Amino acid sequence: MPYFADLILPLPLEKRFTYSLTPEEAGFIQPGMRLAVQFGKNRIYTGIVAEIHQNPPELYEAKPIHQILDEKPLLTKEQLAFWKWIASYYLCAEGDVMRAALPGAFLLESESIVKLRKDAQPETAELNDDEYLVIEALQRQSSMKIQEVEQLLDRKKVLPVLNKLVMKDLVDLNQEIYEQFRPKEVRYVKLNPDYEPEPEMHRLLDELSRAPKQREILLSYFSITAKSKKALKTKKLLEESGASAGVLKSLIDKGIFEEFYQETDRINFTGEISNHEINLNKIQQHAFDEIQQNFKEDKVCLLHGVTSSGKTEIYIKLIEEAVNRGQQALYLLPEIALTTQLIKRLQDYFGDKVLVYHSKYSLNERVEIYKHVLNNSEKGKIIIGARSCIFLPFQDLGLIVVDEEHESTFKQFDPAPRYHARDSAVVLANLFKASIVLGTATPSIESYFNAEHNKYALVELTRRYGNVLMPEVEIVDIKTAHRKKKMTGHFSERLLAEIKESLKEDEQVILFQNRRGFSPIMECNTCGHSPQCPNCDVSLTYHNHNNQLRCHYCGYHMAMQNQCMACGSNEITTKGFGTEQVETELKALFPKHSIARMDQDTTRGKYAYEKIIAAFEAHETDILVGTQMLTKGLDFRKVSLVGIMNADNLLNFPDFRAHERSFQLMLQVAGRSGRTKKRGKVLIQTFNPHHQIIQQVSTGAYTEMYKEQLEDRYQYQYPPYYRLIRLTLKCRDFSKTNEAADWLARALENVFDRYVLGPEFPPVARIRNEYYKNILIKIPQKQSLGKTKKMVQRILNSFRAIGAYRAVRVIVNVDPQ
């Protein structure tokens, strides 16, 4: 009897592909192992064994395999089941999931490029002859293609030998140039060694007798370092001496102190565990108990806790329970770059049990973490990271925490698989019979709906930790202020007064504006023309610092024009405003204070984000201006005022979730204020002070917002009442895009009738010279999801068989965000 293996290949194929096995191979190979196989004319790919059976394929003759790459499975059976679910739910290929799920180093193929690892220390004695040959060759030339390796070794041996070398951490595969991601750099200070001898020290103190503040720092320094020999954090020195960062800076400038940086390590945690106990207060304990109770009943738990209620402490306790049982825990976050504070909190508590997994990590690091999780090793019991963490090879997953569950960035946008990590995590938990908690201060309508309908359990925390009051929210009507000419630039009198007050009290301020750049649109007063991107259907945005007009979609830029390009008039006005303009105005208004900006433009460089946060934490910055990057769970201690510069452009976004999103965003930014004893203040500037969402934000009326939005969703047939599948057609040819979209929409209407909307151009209908057109399918609750998807798939298959539309790509997005 012949044997066969069904393989998942890293390609967008609709089906698995079958290969033949010898009886010996079949006796050895297990599902989850990697095999090298030939696919297409001459190319070799790495495939994953999904199933072994004895049924020959009907339509083609199964080819033998090329090589076995693993001695034991690299994937668990849960992973295989999970991939299958993702592919069928999100209408994509298992091969797409494979590419997203596995570190590239596991995907040996004939196009791979091999390099010696920089830190490799090959021990000749531990290499066999073949391995030695490859290493020796790589020491002579920097990189080799697989074909070149084939000239060294028997062709059959190439992939297994390379695979061994990857596993021994000696070579890199397909290594792209990754910027090494580092959670945080911590700053330290030390005295210039020149001043260490006693006489020098005294001379220095005398010298500084006329600079008492500087002298104070120096004395604090001596007293701290006398007690402990550990490196001294800049932050600690400032705290203990009570001095300002400016005073310290002048000492550094004089060369008396030296500052240096140390990274908090990514994988190898080297700091001590601070081992502080966490004692939940009564309210937290109650919530914790409720969650545990619901876990016993296998319920997904939605933890709705206001900002700063101490949700993180509860998660830590839950994780501790799982780890004490010997199980693994997964902590999912919307965006890892924004979580250095959180990583630190977890590492302080759990030490090197915590591993951070990040797509920006180099392949080796990801391979390393993958292996730790696969081996269920002590290091890596707790995984923290963004959405792709759900693909790790968990052995015994006990708990998943989805923090900030309402965040839309949990949804992968491009490329396929376009999965929602929160929803997928619920399925993953179910596969492992693991507990799962979704936490947030502003639940998504979908999750709250699930809780209301008993699909999830709801646990609430309505008070901030330590009885800190929720910030006081004040709405500022800037329509009237504009009319009465009482605005200074984009600042109302109220906002300016509050900023001044905070600064006077030596407190910090956060200002939120949901647009970057200086001003989004330049418009000619004479003819109304505004400069457009030549590649995309959008206006260019003015950036002041480099005097450029830029496209935020494709990066196209040109020098700022002083005359209208259409009519030559030089009466050009700007419309709208972005973070850069807020920053510029602030600098003019508060020249003595230090102001920083956090948006996509200022966080591009290495560690740029970390530096902005660290400077703000250390109170080197007084005012921080930023986009929604500011909203993400940051815990600053000295922020007493949050200003929302303009609430209206959030509310007017053309999307059925715009109101929900605005509410979440504003409440989250507001939550950055007053996290310690003093009550914080939030000012919202708006042209529509009576808008229901703004009113609801001001009173924190979540359920009111929820009920109202739900009614709209019901009436206009949107989630959670209807499910959505969005098909986006994309092509460089305008009329092809239209024709194809019409064909597809008609075919869908034949089956789904009035539940098909469009085709319609999205707000930006052309990006990088490609035209886009959308078709939306709505699925009522009682209609079978599985059958609907099968039907959509069938129609798409017929569509793809039409030669005339070959150039048109269709992107399928299930549950679009």
Which residues lie near Zn ion (CB under 5 A)? 524, 526-527, 529, 533, 535-536, 551, 553-554, 556, 564, 566-567, 569
CA nearest 328: which of 283, 375, 360?
375
User: Taking CB under 6 A as the rule, does residue 311 contact ligand ADP?
Assistant: yes
Of the candidate spans 110-118, 194-202, 274-282, 728-736, the one that interacts with ligand ADP by CB under 6 A turns out to be: 274-282
Q: Which does 279 bind (CB under 5 to 8 A by kind): Zn ion, ligand ADP, none?
A: ligand ADP
Distances from the Cα of 79 to the Cαs of 71, 389, 431, 442, 769, in angstroms?
Answer: 18, 12, 9, 31, 39
Q: Which does 312 bind (CB under 5 to 8 A by kind): Zn ion, ligand ADP, none?
A: ligand ADP
CB of 676 to Zn ion, least distance (A): 44
| Interacting residue with ligand ADP among 6, 130, 172, 313 (CB under 6 A) | 313
DSSP string, 631-642: GSS---SSEEEE
The Cα–Cα gap between 624 and 642 comes to 10
Verify cis geometry, omega within 30 degrees of 0, for the bond prior to 591: no
Of the candidate spans 256-264, 273-281, 746-754, 769-777, the one that interacts with ligand ADP by CB under 6 A turns out to be: 273-281
CB of 305 to ligand ADP, least distance (A): 5
Residue 308 vs 530, nearer CB to ligand ADP: 308
Positions in 439-468 near ligand ADP (CB under 6 A): 465
Q: Which does 529 bind (CB under 5 to 8 A by kind): Zn ion, ligand ADP, none?
A: Zn ion
| Interacting residue with ligand ADP among 10, 73, 183, 310 (CB under 6 A) | 310
- The number of beta carbons lying within 10 Å of the beta carbon of residue 521 is 16
Burial tier of 378 (Cβ tally within 10 Å: 0-12, 13-18, 19+): exposed
Q: Which does 553 bind (CB under 5 to 8 A by kind): ligand ADP, Zn ion, none?
A: Zn ion
User: Taking CB under 6 A as the rule, does residue 312 contact ligand ADP?
Assistant: yes
Positions in 551-610 near ligand ADP (CB under 6 A): none
Site string for ligand ADP, 275-294 (x = CB under 6 A): ---xxxx--x----------
Half-sphere exposure of 2 (CA within 13 A, CB side): 13
Q: Which does 554 bind (CB under 5 to 8 A by kind): ligand ADP, Zn ion, none?
A: Zn ion
Are the C-beta atoms of residues 396 and 105 closer than 8 Å to each other? no
The Cα–Cα gap between 76 and 102 comes to 12
Positions in 620-659 near ligand ADP (CB under 6 A): 635
Residue 191 vs 329, nearer CB to ligand ADP: 329
SS3 label, residue 341: helix
Burial tier of 699 (Cβ tally within 10 Å: 0-12, 13-18, 19+): exposed
What tokens does 63 get? 């080819």
Q: Which does 751 bind (CB under 5 to 8 A by kind): ligand ADP, Zn ion, none?
A: none
DSSP string, 6-32: EEE-SS--SS-EEEEE-HHHHHH--TT
Q: Which does 635 bind (CB under 5 to 8 A by kind): Zn ion, ligand ADP, none?
A: ligand ADP
- The number of beta carbons lying within 10 Å of the beta carbon of residue 71 is 10
Positions in 88-147 near ligand ADP (CB under 6 A): none
- Name the percent of the chain in helix, strand, coil, to the closest 5: 40, 25, 35
Residue 148 DSSP class: H
Are the C-beta atoms of residues 774 and 740 closer than 8 Å to each other? no
SS3 label, residue 180: coil
CB of 654 to Zn ion, least distance (A): 19
CB of 227 to ligand ADP, least distance (A): 25
* DSSP E strand stretches across 102-161: 113-116, 143-145
User: Taking CB under 6 A as the rule, does residue 678 contact ligand ADP?
Assistant: no
Are the C-beta atoms of residues 375 and 367 closer than 8 Å to each other? no
| Interacting residue with ligand ADP among 163, 241, 307, 412 (CB under 6 A) | 307
H helix intervals, 433-573: 445-452, 478-483, 493-504
The residue whose Cβ lies closest to ligand ADP is 310
Site string for ligand ADP, 464-493 (x = CB under 6 A): -x----------------------------
CB of 521 to ligand ADP, least distance (A): 36
Size of the site for ligand ADP (CB under 6 A): 15
| Interacting residue with ligand ADP among 241, 294, 308, 584 (CB under 6 A) | 308
Site string for ligand ADP, 225-264 (x = CB under 6 A): ----------------------------------------
Q: Which does 309 bind (CB under 5 to 8 A by kind): ligand ADP, Zn ion, none?
A: ligand ADP
Residues 6+ apart with CB under 8 A from 135: 116, 122, 127, 165, 170, 171
Binding residues (CB under 6 A) for ligand ADP: these are: 278-281, 284, 305, 307-313, 465, 635
